[in-house]
Amino acid sequence: MEIKVVNLKEKFNTFNDYWSPKIVGELNNQLVKVAKFKGEFTMHQHENEDELFFVIDGTLYIETEKEVLTINPGEFVVMPRGVYHKPFAKEEVKVLLFEPNTTLNTGNVTNDYTVSDLEKI
């Protein structure tokens, strides 16, 4: 097994598309992903998986049925399984995601944002 250091800045510089997570690491059946968000996503939930959103750069907003969360650089939020949520970003935001390898980015919804075959970078 190869052990390597991951430079997030370098990884973010390899792509420009929004709402399309990329795998940058794996551990214990969990995936570490990076993504760029801008604009509105889709309201969805994950029936069986919690997911962590860690903001690297920019400001991420996540709308739930009860509130709108604001996550700034250096902050993260864990979205519990079963909670409907809709991420959005007024400007580009760079996010690190940590979630089980079974997690589909659009959860219980299939649409143009759904990425079922994630790229490893």
Give the domain extent around 100: 8-120
In a domain, 94, yes or no: yes
In a domain, 112, yes or no: yes
In the chain, % helix, strand, coil (3-state, to 5) comes to 5, 45, 50
Identify the sign of the CA torsion 24, 29, 30, 33. Answer: positive
Count of domains forming the chain: 1
Q: Find the largest Cα–Cα distance for the chain.
A: 44
In a domain, 2, yes or no: no
In a domain, 1, yes or no: no
Residue 88: give its domain's CATH number: 2.60.120.10
**pLDDT attached to residue 110:** 85
Query: Helix and strand tally (H, E) in the chain?
Result: 1, 8
Query: pLDDT tens for residues 60-100?
Result: 999 999 999 999 999 999 999 999 999 999 999 999 999 99
In a domain, 3, yes or no: no
Identify the sign of the CA torsion 115, 88, 39, 98. Answer: negative
What is the DSSP secondary structure assignment for residue 9, as one 8-state letter? H
